[in-house]
Amino acid sequence: MKNKLRVVELFAGVGGFRLGLEKAGHKTVWANQWEPNKKVQHAFNCYSKNFPNDNFIDINKDIDKVKIENIPNHDLLVGGFPCQDYSVATVGPKGLKGKKGVLWWNIEKIVRNKKPPYILLENVDRLIKSPKNQRGRDFGVMLSCLHNLGYCVEWRIIDSSNYGFPQRRKRVFIFAAKKGTKWFNNLKEHHKKPNFLHNIGFFSHEFDVLNPEKDLNLTEKIKYIENTKKISDKFVYKFENSGFLYNDIICSKKLKPNFLGESKALKDILIKNVDDKYFIYDKEEINKWKKLREAKKKNVTRKDGQTFIWSEGKMTFPDSIDIPSRTIVTSSSGKTPSRFKHIINDPWKNELRILTAEEVELLSGFPKGWTNNCNMPESWRYFCMGNALVVGLVEKMGKTLSK
- Which pLDDT score is estimated for 97? 53
| Identity at 378, one-letter amino acid code | E
pLDDT category, 218, cuts 50, 70, 90?
A: low
- Which pLDDT score is estimated for 84? 46
Domain boundaries, the chain: 6-261+390-402, 266-387
Contact 208, 257 (CB under 8 A): yes
6-261+390-402 shares its CATH topology with 266-387: no
Any catalytic annotation for residue 46? no
What interhelical angle do 104-114 and 137-148 show, nearest 10?
Answer: 10
pTM of the model: 0.93
For residue range 50-93, list pLDDT tens digits in order.
999 999 999 999 999 999 999 999 999 999 987 444 333 333 44
| Pairing relationship of beta strands 27-31 and 6-10 according to DSSP bridges | parallel
Distances (CA, A) of 312 to 141, 297, 298, 333: 32, 6, 9, 22
Q: Any idea which fold 266-387 has?
A: DNA Methylase; Chain A, domain 2 (3.90.120)
Which run of H or of E encompasses 384?
Answer: helix 378-387
CA 299 to the chain's CA centroid: 33
For residue range 143-174, list pLDDT tens digits in order.
999 999 999 999 999 999 999 999 999 999 99
**Which of 46, 83, 152, 384 is the catalytic position?**
83
Q: Any idea which fold 6-261+390-402 has?
A: Rossmann fold (3.40.50)
Smallest CA-to-CA distance from 83 within 125, 135, 33 is with 125
